Structure 1
Amino acid sequence: MMEKELKDFQKATVKHIVDIFKSKKQRRVLLSDEVGLGKTIVSKGVIQAVGELSDEYGIWNDNTYRVVYICSNANIVKQNTENLGIEDVMNIEESRLSMQHFIVAKKVKELIEAKKDKPSILIPLTPGTSFNLQTSAGNMNERALMFAILSHVKDFKEHTKALKNRLNIYEANNDNWENTIKKYENEVSEIEKVCTGYRENICKEVVKDDNYQEAKNLLLKAIEEKADYNTKNRAITQFRIIFCKISMKELNPDLVIMDEFQRFSSLLDLEGNSEEAMLTRTFFGKEDGPFILLVSATPYKPFTTLEELNENKIDTQYQDFNKLTDFLFDNREDITFQQVWHDYSKELCHISSDNLDILIARKNIAEEAMYQAMSRTERYRNSAQDDTHLKISTGDIVSYCQMQEVIDECNKMSEGRFSVKTLPMEYAKSSPYLLSFMDKYKLKEKLVKAYVENPWNSNMQKQRLLLKTNDIYKYNDIPLCNAKLSKLSNILFDEKGEKHGEQLFWIPASHPYYKIPANNMFAKNHDFSKVLVFSAWEMVPRMIACMISYAVEQKSISRAFPSATYTNTKENSEKDALDKQQGEKAGTGRLRRESLELVTCSSDFLTDAYNPKTNLGQDIKEIRANIKENIKNTGRLTLVEQPTTVKFLLEAIRLLDSNAGEKILISEDGLDTLVNMAIGSPGICFYRLLGNKDLAQEAATKFCNNIFNRRYNAAVIDILYNKKSVQTYFKQVIDYCVMGNLQAVLDEFAYMIDERSNGERNVEMIQKRMIESFIDRNYQEIDTTESFGKEKKKKWRIRTHYAMPYGNIRMTDQATNRANDVRLAFNSPFRPFVLASTSVGQEGLDFHWYCRKIMHWNISSNPQDMEQREGRIDRYKSLFVRRNVAKFHPETYTWNEMFDLARTEAKDKGFCELVPYWSIPQDMLKSIAETDREYIESIVPLYPLSMDYDRYRHMKSVLRLYRLTMGQPRQEELLESFKDMPAEDIDKLLFNLSPIKRKK
């Protein structure tokens, strides 16, 4: 990604943070800007500003500027490190803390050899792998490096062979172990050539450690005796801890950034006895330690309900707040923050109209004290709530009753020993066909076991508990049987059936270059948005991905090809058994080699034949007519009756691009196709954008294969154009791209990737990012009526493409990479259009480029979670912002010009640069017709007569006022004091920790 320029409020925040550091009173600062306001960009500004400080502030001690970036998971690291402004970034795959002494030394060696002046290094760490030593033996790389060092320690020199064997936990992988040993021996030797004394220094540090004798004795015992697995592990764990402490010392950071640190707040517990506390004391436990920037929109649990308080007997919010402030203000002699906060809290607890002035004075003192270690800026509100009243179907009720009937049957068969008596209502409200989707749930495991031992008497084919194999195979319509799923389906596909969102292959352009007929699906869906769904249950993302993606295929394929069947295996998934009677392909390969060459070709003549800027705002009919006339006026055409073929068109394009002056034979229909190609052919659009034929050809080919060579999308084209012809398919594809304003779509996407003007853009980066958006479909394996309870029956594989699940609780390396691919695809105009996640996608990630709708499948337990979720799509230049800005200035061509004009208007009205890049206040929206204004839509589906109504009403009231109870015990009781307070008095009690707003 390109570097984003800091906005005025971000620059003010950077200055405030660095001024605190420069005061030499405070080395720990909290950056707590509201979710979505670019805390990573502010962090980049802080990194740059701290790096420009002189060595009197305790940096540049070894002529390198070292920044340690601690983050909760590898996905966020991959997203954010490229935006932090440091070129030399350590590989996150090598983030094991016990190895960092070696990794840093290797990087320093490289920088010395490169002769870089005052180099900067970014060192990413993740607590799960870096700080947590619960996997006691570590991985092979850790143990191989350990051997490379310990084999040179005096106590182990005579035991090198035995040491090597004992450190090889998995003896079967002996070849790999030997190769890994050689790798690290060689690399340590290479470091020694440049950083003389590196290994000797590390050996000395090992021996000096307080725990060395104990660790040595354990390991020697394991060497000298035939120790069991656990004994070897304990010995290795001891040395891992020693090497971790050495690494912490050798990292010697100038600045530590802890991003979303509330996820690993145990690292702040400097007094504890945990491994994390022991290790982080090396970082934070000294007065002249590094500058520390804590980054989080929710630095502590913002609200503890009375229900949570009574259940857990702990006021988590109150404890977290005190723990955070104790850490921030540690070693401050000029501020007794606890006393200041106590004085404010005492007044707040006895709030009345009589003592309001005294309370405000106490609040101002507390605010000033907090401002010396904190910064927080908040946006203007842009959301529109949709408290959806759901309609329960017969399917909802039958699904619940049948599931309960099965549980009753199991209890009856086990004579009451079946441990589950009733189906949890939240399960029934969250998902249909529960036994198809609730894998890894204890309830399903128990039911499977009961079914295997004694199959239920009821006919499984009649149940609403499992998807029917035959229904999927024949592309039958499958009842949704869940009101929430029906609501989502209506949002996407329109309950009246007029918009047909399943026929869209990309999100309509926010700033279309020309007008298309009002009855075209892109015109009908001009306000269409992707949907981000959050659920409390792990089964829900899988269910949504399967049910919605299947519904899209069913709506297209079964309508276009009634005889089609659902291919179930990976090997056969690309075979087209759709319309064998006519012998036609309807899926992969529909754009055959020559057709694909035509729609992806780059032509200078056709690229120049249409100028989007010159024709901005015109009707597509007028543009087509003008281009056609201009091509005719070249004097090179001879109209003939010859049928339009791909070869015919490719030859015509070759001659148009040449200067040979040969006459070009072409039919009227062929000329119309050339006109369409000039406006919207993928090859021409990519070429017009990238200016490089090779890059354009590669991108257009990936684009066409990913979209138009999918059988379910080919079926959509057949439905729209009412034809099933391989010979004319390429014409329909090109026309679809014209109607879909493909050039405007790609230009908008390119702007989001790189905001710079055309001449300055990195077209290779843009092309790479676009190609990354064209991901393969995923598959979810589910139980059906055929496979349930049968070991030898394979589960059914459902393709997921229109909707996809994001991440899972067990984030392996493969799952992390897949989740990153899905995130990139969702942040593109192309499918998937629905992303369903649990809390794993709730913090620290961007999903806002093409999404302005969020659906809370389950009401979260804490009000702040609702804001965190919304913050995923309410971010910098998000979809609703771009669409509104485009409506302010439809006559303006480039996005930079539109935003510059909108910013000028906002500045004239006294707004900082939050407007228009993050928020658009009502004062500015008034210039747009009310029906055309767009907002963040927060959809909360509520079953009638359920407890969710009361919970949601209560949560909305808490959301309005909970900030007033920050850092106070028993918050819910305190909120009662503010219920009848006038809004202007509430405003006076809100803390202002925003540098830009305090300047005004």
Structure 2
Amino acid sequence: MSGGPIDAEAVLCGLKDFQRDTARWVYERMFDPDDPASRFLVADEVGLGKTHVAKGVVAQVIDHLSRHGDERHDIVYVCSNRAIARQNLRKLVPAGIEPLESVDRLTMLPLTELSAGSEAGAAINLLAITPGTSLKFGRSTGYFKERVLAYAFLRELWGAGAFSAPRARWIFWSGVDEGSGDRRLRERGRDYRRRIRGQIQDFADALASVDAGRARDGRPGIREAFDSLVEGLAWKREFPAHLTSVRSELIADVRLAMATVGIAKLQPDLVILDEFQRFNDLLRPDPTNWAADLAHRLFEHVDRETDRKTRTLLLSATPYRMYTTADEVDGDHYADFLATCEFLMHDPARVERLEGQLAGLRGALVSPNVAEAGPEWCAAVEHELRRVMVRTERLAATPDRDGMLREVPAATRLAPVDVDGYVRIADLAERVGHHDPTEYWKSSPYLLNFMESYKLKEKLRRAIEVDGLAPTDGSWTGPGLLSWADIEAYRAIDPENARLRWLLDDLASHHAFELLWIPPSRPYYRAGSRYEEPGARDLTKRLLFSGWAVVPKVVSSLVSYAAERAAFPDARHRYTADYGQRGGRRLEFRMDGRRPGAMTAFLLLWPSPTLAEVGDPRRRTAGTDRPSAETVLDAIRRDLDERLRPVVDGAPADGPVDQRWYWAAPLLLDAREYPEIAVEWFQWDSAIAAWAGDERADGFTRHAELAWKVIVDELEEDERLGRPPEDLAAVLAEVALGAPAVCALRSVASVTGLSVDHEAVVEAAARISWGFRAYVNSPEVTGVLDQSERSGSAELAYWRRVARHGVAGNLQALLDEHLHVLRDWLGFTTFDTEEQRVDAAGRFAERLHDALDVRTASFQVDVPQEDEAGGVSFAGPRMRSRFAAAFGNQRMEEGGEQRVEAVSNAFNSPFWPFVLTSTSVGQEGLDFHLWCHAVVHWNLPGNPVDLEQREGRVHRYKGHAVRRNIAQRYADEGPVVDGDLWEALFARAAGDLPTAATEMQPYWVFAEGDARILRFAPFPPYSREAALLPRLRRSLAAYRLAFGQPRQEELVEFLGRALDPEQLQVLVERLRIDLSPPRAEPLRCANGEESSDER
């Protein structure tokens, strides 16, 4: 794209001071006139905003190139997967830069006309790719458009004769619809051939290189392989299985040539490698590795006109194995570290000098006079490394260097039934010749039911189904085996596992099964509800890590089952009953004959600007004391009484009470006070689409039509409204304060700075409300509402329970808080234009709707069943996981797959799931901190760095613990009447910090309160894990001294034996390798104040 110059200083002013220091140091090193570092690593600790640092670097590089006369700037962003790329791209690029949306892989770049720029403005070509689709092809045939381009290149190079055989084109369209594949290939191919004719020689050269590689491997050239494949397909009606791999290999190699042509079109000024440790094999030049060769064509590009090298920026909190033990076979810290340094320094002499300095430091560490010799060697290593890398850590932000971390005792209870379950599974394991299953059993109950793809499970299943193996007691019920009859009847299931029992007790102690969302950190009023009870008030989500693949399945299924039992204490339906029988879909747009019969459901979804204005709790609670919900509702009711008088004037004073007033009155109020939005809304296709999305049905449309008729006063005579209910104002006060649509309208308006009647705000609120409808329509949520919102013996209508629950749970405060952190998470650091605000409103709606409407995943449970002949087979019923989720791709209850992004988005909302379980240690690049500051170590890693990495997932920018502390510290501050409350609270906290503090505080670390990053390790006393945990804690301090050293474990053990904890901590403070960047000079920012670099 082309555009105006980038204001680099404005971008830098948008960063926090330590991020700005890093960005400026990276730029200075990259363009140092005497000793430039063309490759630089930012290794900031997880969660400190490396992507924002990269944004500052991008802005400075573009500014530098523009000032030196360059009219074209090519930037290539390489990330391990598209999900992380989508999350990070908006944060990465300065305003006004858009990626090449039509190109997400190098193979398609030959079709793209890259902008060259002109005197009118520089051209910025930003390309985002993944190694798996652009560099590492393996035997993948890519998607259809790639195969069309491959066909077009070969057709131009070889001529039409090569494709005259009947099945020649089939190679490229196989897998596409039989009836249209060939036609689509030829039509699109003609267009592609026209666009690539100037690049045929480049492609021929690339193909020749590929052929040379094939010849070295003893394989035929591309043309020979193609002709042979065409011959093998002659007269075939179906693609032969034995030729599929031949086809895949052929197309993959053609894609390789296409990628080579694509790279040749680029003139990369800056290459960004995000979380590059996932593809660090590309850093090492290897003439036999095509992927590495392609990558180095990017890294080693030199501009022909200026002789300027490409700059490469690497981002990773774990750029190499930070710490390894002797028994780890898949990597070594020292070798990994040196390989990274070799790539960065690109100079063997410098690497050799660094090795000597590290050896000197190691010698000092193990010598008696370490205090004298150590600092000099430490300074030498820091100086050498800071030329090519920097690392900022959050630990230094608190005086005791704990970074807000607290280890919480997690006492576990071993029950006799747990042991009985072990005896049964151990007996079965022994009888099939498998090793002792103790480690499995400590982590998971019901192993036979939940295990998948374990050798033990495969042996047992074969022995049971084929050989007739049975438990010693002959029974397929009892300890160690899940009773499906008990599940079906919603009977209590014993956890049969000490850790799972602890987790269930922990959740129950915080009333988690009784809540539909995490309580807001800063409620606006006192509701006296379950959300404000001591246990619930402290609730945060639980992120659980395990080393066993069975654990996410067990925890998600059985914890979600416990939540369902709590929701249905008197269940009359069976577990496998359908959605409706379990109580779901209470807010349906049903028809009574030809008339809409659920307009009160419509009321909950209508984002009424009038009710948003009248019911704003921030206007009613602006003092320092939080009033009660009753006080706020009473003030809203009095206001509504006044506003309703002209609306109900003329209505019948006698006759039956007309319940339709509940939904009609807000529409009539909006018709009076916001006529433009009220009247036009129902005539916009975009409005209906924003509401219902793809779910628009006739019932909803008829309800919307009736709403419009009320607004424009076109009701038929027999449809006229009757006598208004006496409690009309009181009921609407509850809707104004707690209905999802109205709360969403206020939140979107306050965080974006747009008005409540702005079209984009109303559309966003409507879309969010549709997500809420899906949430409260789910059976489990319906059950919770049924338990919590009853009025004496007479039950309230469901729509009123939803509104009342919104009041009870301070829904307005919750959404205000969530949208504030969602704004940062989505990369909207500033709102310079109305277009950005409108875009943000739409993105808020998309994320929140999708989090609320995430579909329920389920897991298969293997249940042994005896048949009449005495044989045993495994039935495969499924268990739902809604309250607790597993991180990964699971089958949905209604089919399809639940994508990783959907689970991450839902967990990063304040709504269910409240528990997320994963087997991954790092989860690099993914955030889980928005509503979680508790990590449960179901199993311990063998490595102290992995322990930190796990906890770093929830210790990030404006995390839940930080917000709770800020809310506690400024509890007496009245809410901001207009605008974003949380922006004001963070600004107040930042302003109160001492001048020497960095902006790590209050955004990452704020310890003035009770909330902490919670570390749970639920291990029995005297267990192996209980003994390992103190060792890991000690290693956390010592491993920083082992940075860059071989045989780290030996050095850490030596230091642990030689020094007591206090001595070790002093040594760490003095000799820890500090790679933080130099402090930069202050900037003069747009607000007239100096940036806080020197605070």
TM-score range, shorter chain: 0.7 to 0.9
For residues 1006 and 642 of structure 2, the distance between their equivalents in structure 1, rounded to whole angstroms, comes to 47
1:397 Cα deviation (Å)?
1.3
The alignment partner of 2:40 has SS state of strand
For residues 983 and 159 of structure 1, the distance between their equivalents in structure 2, rounded to whole angstroms, comes to 73
**Structure 1: 5+ residue runs without aligned partners?**
412-417, 579-584
What is the 5 A alignment of 1:859-874? 859-874=940-955
1:837 maps to what in 2? 918
The alignment partner of 1:780 has SS state of strand
1:668 Cα deviation (Å)?
4.5
The alignment partner of 1:525 has SS state of helix
Flag the 1:652–1:870 CA change in 2: closer, same or farther, 3 A.
Answer: same
2:363 maps to what in 1? 349
Flag the 1:810–1:586 CA change in 2: closer, same or farther, 3 A.
Answer: closer
The alignment partner of 1:256 has SS state of strand
Q: Is the 8 A contact 1:602 1:696 kept in 2?
A: no
The counterpart of 2:128, out of the listed 118, 124, 127, is: 124
Q: Is the 8 A contact 1:809 1:840 kept in 2?
A: no
Say what the alpha-carbon RMSD is for the aligned residues.
Answer: 3.7
1:846 maps to what in 2? 927
1:737 Cα deviation (Å)?
0.6
The counterpart of 2:996, out of the listed 899, 910, 929, is: 910
The AA in structure 2 aligned to 1:917 is Y
What is the 5 A alignment of 1:571-970? 572=578, 574-576=579-581, 589=588, 593-616=598-621, 617-633=626-642, 636=645, 646-657=659-670, 659=672, 666-690=724-748, 691-692=756-757, 694-695=762-763, 698-699=766-767, 701-722=769-790, 728-754=797-823, 761=837, 762-785=840-863, 795-808=876-889, 818-839=899-920, 842-890=923-971, 891-893=973-975, 894-906=981-993, 908-921=994-1007, 925=1008, 928=1009, 933-970=1010-1047
1:278 maps to what in 2? 293
Identify the range of structure 1 (291-300 vs 265-274) with the bigger mean alpha-carbon deviation.
Answer: 265-274
**Structure 2: 5+ residue runs without aligned partners?**
1-10, 233-241, 303-307, 396-402, 591-596, 674-712, 714-719, 749-755, 825-829, 976-980, 1082-1093
2:203 maps to what in 1? 202
For residues 136 and 687 of structure 1, the distance between their equivalents in structure 2, rounded to whole angstroms, comes to 47
Q: Is the 8 A contact 1:469 1:786 kept in 2?
A: no
2:455 maps to what in 1? 442
The counterpart of 2:1072, out of the listed 980, 990, 997, is: 990
For residues 118 and 443 of structure 2, the distance between their equivalents in structure 1, rounded to whole angstroms, comes to 57
For residues 782 and 436 of structure 1, the distance between their equivalents in structure 2, rounded to whole angstroms, comes to 9
Flag the 1:951–1:849 CA change in 2: closer, same or farther, 3 A.
Answer: same
1:974 Cα deviation (Å)?
1.4
The counterpart of 1:185, out of the listed 176, 186, 189, is: 189
What is the 5 A alignment of 1:87-166? 87-90=97-100, 95-97=104-106, 99-102=107-110, 105-106=111-112, 108=114, 117-135=121-139, 140-154=144-158, 158-162=161-165, 164-165=168-169
The AA in structure 2 aligned to 1:838 is T
Flag the 1:608–1:348 CA change in 2: closer, same or farther, 3 A.
Answer: same
- 1:934-971 per-residue CA deviation (whole Å, 9 max, x = no partner) reads 01111112133221122222111111120111111111
Q: Is the 8 A contact 2:1043 2:1073 kept in 1?
A: no
The alignment partner of 1:89 has SS state of coil
The counterpart of 2:436, out of the listed 409, 413, 422, is: 422
The AA in structure 1 aligned to 2:1002 is P
The alignment partner of 2:863 has SS state of coil
Identify the range of structure 1 (764-773 vs 597-606) with the bigger mean alpha-carbon deviation.
Answer: 597-606
Q: Is the 8 A contact 2:98 2:126 kept in 1?
A: yes
- 1:401-436 per-residue CA deviation (whole Å, 9 max, x = no partner) reads 11112223xx3xxxxxx442432x221112111122
The alignment partner of 2:1070 has SS state of helix
2:305 maps to what in 1? none
Flag the 1:676–1:587 CA change in 2: closer, same or farther, 3 A.
Answer: closer
Q: Is the 8 A contact 1:390 1:941 kept in 2?
A: yes
The alignment partner of 1:607 has SS state of helix
For residues 249 and 642 of structure 2, the distance between their equivalents in structure 1, rounded to whole angstroms, comes to 85
2:353 maps to what in 1? 339
1:316 maps to what in 2? 332
Flag the 1:213–1:474 CA change in 2: closer, same or farther, 3 A.
Answer: closer
The counterpart of 1:479, out of the listed 476, 490, 494, is: 494
1:219 Cα deviation (Å)?
2.6
- 1:634-678 per-residue CA deviation (whole Å, 9 max, x = no partner) reads 582799898876413224434544559999954453332122122
1:67 maps to what in 2? 75
Flag the 1:740–1:727 CA change in 2: closer, same or farther, 3 A.
Answer: closer
The counterpart of 1:27, out of the listed 38, 46, 60, is: 38
Please say if 1:294 is aligned against 2:294.
Answer: no
The two structures have a TM-score, normalised by structure 1, of 0.86
Identify the range of structure 1 (699-708 vs 14-23) with the bigger mean alpha-carbon deviation.
Answer: 699-708
For residues 700 and 736 of structure 1, the distance between their equivalents in structure 2, rounded to whole angstroms, comes to 17
- 1:556-584 per-residue CA deviation (whole Å, 9 max, x = no partner) reads 11x1x33221125xxx3x12266xxxxxx
1:686 Cα deviation (Å)?
2.1
Q: Is the 8 A contact 2:863 2:876 kept in 1?
A: no
- 1:905-957 per-residue CA deviation (whole Å, 9 max, x = no partner) reads 12x24111111011124xxx1xx4xxxx1011111121332211222221111
1:367 Cα deviation (Å)?
0.6
The two structures have a TM-score, normalised by structure 2, of 0.79
For residues 474 and 116 of structure 1, the distance between their equivalents in structure 2, rounded to whole angstroms, comes to 73
The alignment partner of 1:804 has SS state of strand
Q: Is the 8 A contact 2:658 2:722 kept in 1?
A: no
2:3 maps to what in 1? none
1:415 maps to what in 2? none
Please say if 1:367 is aligned against 2:436.
Answer: no
Q: Is the 8 A contact 2:72 2:123 kept in 1?
A: yes
1:222 Cα deviation (Å)?
4.4
- 1:114-159 per-residue CA deviation (whole Å, 9 max, x = no partner) reads 99943323322222333323226555543332221122225x5532
Q: Is the 8 A contact 1:595 1:646 kept in 2?
A: no
Flag the 1:168–1:516 CA change in 2: closer, same or farther, 3 A.
Answer: closer
- 1:451-479 per-residue CA deviation (whole Å, 9 max, x = no partner) reads 11133344554144442221121111111
The alignment partner of 1:53 has SS state of helix
Q: In the comparison of the two structures, how many residue pairs are matched?
A: 943
Q: Is the 8 A contact 1:501 1:525 kept in 2?
A: yes
The AA in structure 1 aligned to 2:616 is N
Q: Is the 8 A contact 1:826 1:832 kept in 2?
A: yes
| Aligned-residue identity in percent | 28
- 1:859-911 per-residue CA deviation (whole Å, 9 max, x = no partner) reads 112211111111111001111111111222231421111111111112x2411
1:850 Cα deviation (Å)?
0.7
Q: Is the 8 A contact 2:933 2:961 kept in 1?
A: yes
For residues 815 and 586 of structure 1, the distance between their equivalents in structure 2, rounded to whole angstroms, comes to 21
Please say if 1:386 is aligned against 2:408.
Answer: yes
Identify the range of structure 1 (984-993 vs 815-824) with the bigger mean alpha-carbon deviation.
Answer: 815-824
For residues 794 and 190 of structure 1, the distance between their equivalents in structure 2, rounded to whole angstroms, comes to 58
Identify the range of structure 1 (795-804 vs 655-664) with the bigger mean alpha-carbon deviation.
Answer: 655-664
Identify the range of structure 1 (508-517 vs 688-697) with the bigger mean alpha-carbon deviation.
Answer: 688-697
Identify the range of structure 1 (933-942 vs 81-90) with the bigger mean alpha-carbon deviation.
Answer: 81-90
Identify the range of structure 1 (296-305 vs 74-83) with the bigger mean alpha-carbon deviation.
Answer: 74-83
Flag the 1:234–1:802 CA change in 2: closer, same or farther, 3 A.
Answer: closer
For residues 271 and 667 of structure 1, the distance between their equivalents in structure 2, rounded to whole angstroms, comes to 80
